[in-house]
Amino acid sequence: MSQPEWRQWIRPQDLVWLLLFSALIAVSRYRTPEEIAILACLGFVQMIEPKVPFMRGDRGAVTGILIKLGLCYLLIGWTDGISSTYYLILLLPVVSAATTLNLAGTVAFSLLACAAYLSFLGYLDWSRQELTPDAWSEIGLRVLFLLVVAFLTHQLAEANRVEARKYQAVASQLEAANRSLLAAEAAVRRSERLAALGQLTAGLAHELRNPLGTMRASAEMLSKNIDSGGEIARELAGFISTEVDRTNSLITRFLEFARPLKLRLQKTELSQVADQAIAELERHNPPYRVTVYRNYSPDVPALELDAELMERVVYNLILNAAQATPAGGAVTVKTRAGDSMVELSVIDRGSGIAKADSESIFNPFFTTKTEGVGLGLAIVSKIVDEHGGTIAVESEPTHGSTFRIFLPTTARASGPPK
């Protein structure tokens, strides 16, 4: 919730500064118009400084300190110079430097403030005036007092800055940990859904296969026993047999999704897997009429993969990209080596994925197509998980999609990352 605009210009500490400078004017023993004007200007600069964007930067901070130092110099010079009771007003620029600048800046402005104060010794008429040892001691104490306050203030401010940086680092770590936790929770929920759906699918598939086998056998017997005049009955028997085969194919896909994978890992070049998947697509390319470009990095090492299953992953991704790309368009398959992972990307400039659907596309039985059962990307995700990798998608409607697979460069046991 944003602050009201007036809160950006009126702060509680402004009232404190107003009271302090009003008290300085009230208790002043000189009360000349010049003195009051300088005090008013100092108060104004002190209150307006945090509200001006320029003053929040390094140059702005230095400018503000110089302005206050100049006003303090005028005030002390107008009120008895070296013996002015306003020498403590030099704490304003000194403390500002100590709280906003580094040690070098603090030392520089502290010495400048001391030099400004000591410069009033040059205005004394030494032929008529003489400073006593007590006066010299007083001047020395005033100068040392400014230096001590500057150093202590800088130490305190630096300690606060160090603590603030620690808190920011901890906050960043907590934010990263929270993101990782949310991702892990999402992965666990997805794994639980997949496990439950897998068990349900396996049970249904086995129960359905028996009656389907009976129906197909009955349709074949019916087709053989129909006389030559029963063309319609023969055609209907053929429909029954075809639909039974189609249903049986779907059940096989369900079982592939539900059955635990047993990887046959061997050293495999990822580019070869991608080439085989592209060749498979090109055998069916006429319906899609797209061009597939290869962008393989020579730095990608051979990986421990189940080449057959990984080829299926790449083929499914390229097939989806081709189906989403208009005729005459292009799909790019790209590989890239990382520190401990290898990335394979399939990039298209097709219809893209709606933001509302991007969270669900890897869920089983989710599909935006008129045909299909929504198991393709779910199986792809499962195979990648079994290889210890991850899959992600970046998509913008009407601007295309990029599917990224990240696979570890070191071999690991079958199963998703823990």
Phi-psi region of 113 (alpha: psi -120 to 50; beta: other; left: phi over 0): alpha
**Per residue of the chain (418 residues), what is the pLDDT tens digit?**
445 554 556 677 778 888 888 888 888 777 788 888 888 898 888 888 878 888 778 888 899 899 999 999 999 888 888 888 888 889 999 998 998 888 899 999 999 999 999 998 888 878 777 788 888 898 899 899 999 999 999 999 999 988 988 999 999 899 888 888 887 787 777 667 666 766 666 666 667 777 777 777 777 777 777 766 667 777 777 778 777 777 777 677 666 666 666 788 899 999 999 999 998 888 776 676 888 999 999 999 999 998 888 998 999 899 889 888 888 889 999 999 888 889 999 999 888 888 777 767 777 666 766 566 667 788 888 888 888 888 888 888 888 899 999 999 875 544 444 3
Could you give the CA distance from residue 257 to residue 253 in angstroms, rounded to a whole number?
A: 6
The strand order across the sheet containing 291-295 reads 291-295, 330-337, 341-348, 400-408, 390-396
Reported residue count of the chain is 418
Superfamily (CATH H level) for 266-408: Histidine kinase-like ATPase, C-terminal domain (3.30.565.10)
Give the Cβ contact number of residue 27 at 10 Å.
8
Supply the DSSP string of 247-310, one letter for each residue: HHHHHHHHHHHHSPP----EEE-HHHHHHHHHHHHHHT-TTT--EEEEE--TTPPPEEE-HHHH
The domain spans of the chain are 5-122, 179-258, 266-408
**What is the Cα–Cα distance from 377 to 313, expressed in whole angstroms?**
8
C-alpha–C-alpha distance, residues 282 and 38, integer Å: 84
What is the number of other CB atoms lying within 10 angstroms of the CB of residue 57?
10
Q: What is the pLDDT of residue 108?
A: 92
| Separation between Cα atoms, residue 60 and residue 371, nearest integer Å | 65
Domain 179-258 has CATH 1.10.287.130: yes
Q: Of 300, 269, 259, 296, which Cα lies nearest the Cα of 382?
A: 259
Q: Which two three-digit tokens encode residue 274? A: 């991608």
Topology alike, domains 179-258 and 266-408: no
Assess contact for 375 and 356: CB atoms under 8 A.
no
On whether the pTM is more than 0.75, the answer is no
CA separation for the pair 201, 3 (Å, rounded) = 55
CA dist 71 and 136 (Å) reads 25
Structure tokens at 159: 């300690």
